[in-house]
A and B are shown apart, each in its own frame.
Chain A
Amino acid sequence: MDITEAAHRDYATEAAAASARAIAAARREGLIDVAYDTVDTPFGPMLVAVTPKGLVRIAFQGEDFEDVLTDLAARLSPRVLEEPKATQAARRELDAFFAGRLRSFDLPLDWSLSSGFALRVRKATYRIPYGLTSSYGEVAAKAGNPRASRAAGNALGSNPIPIVVPCHRVLRTGGALGGYGGGLDMKTALLRLEAPML
Chain B
Amino acid sequence: MDVRLPPFQTLLRDHAEEVYRFLAGMVGPRDADDCFQETVLAALRAYPGLRDATNLRGWMLTIAHSKAVDEHRARARRAVPVERVPERAVPGSNDGVALWDLVRDLPPKQRASVVHRYANELPYREIARILDVSEAAARQNVREGLKKLKEWV
Contact = CB atoms under 8 A, between A and B. Distances in A.
Interface of A: 1-9, 11-12, 14-16, 18-19, 21-23, 25-26, 29, 31-34, 36, 69-70, 72-74, 77-82
A6 B149 CA distance: 14
Contact of A25 (B19, B37, B94, B146): B37
B63 interface: no
Interface stretch (B40-48, B76-84, B128-136): B40-48
Given A31-B41, A78-B48, A70 B118 contact: no
Contact of A79 (B21, B33, B47, B118): B47
B96 A5 contact: yes
B45 A19 contact: no
Interface string B131-153: 00000000000000010011001
Given A3-B118, A69-B7, A70-B7, A81 B12 contact: yes
13 contacts: A1-B95, A3-B103, A6-B95, A7-B119, A8-B119, A11-B21, A14-B24, A15-B19, A16-B16, A21-B33, A26-B41, A73-B5, A81-B12
Q: Interface size for chain B: under 10, 10 to 19, 20 to 34, or 35 or more residues? A: 35 or more
Nearest 9 Cβ contacts at the A-B interface: A6-B96, A80-B7, A78-B5, A22-B40, A15-B20, A7-B119, A15-B17, A15-B16, A31-B44
Report which residue of B47, B95, B153 has the largest number of chain A beta carbons within 10 angstroms of its beta carbon.
B47
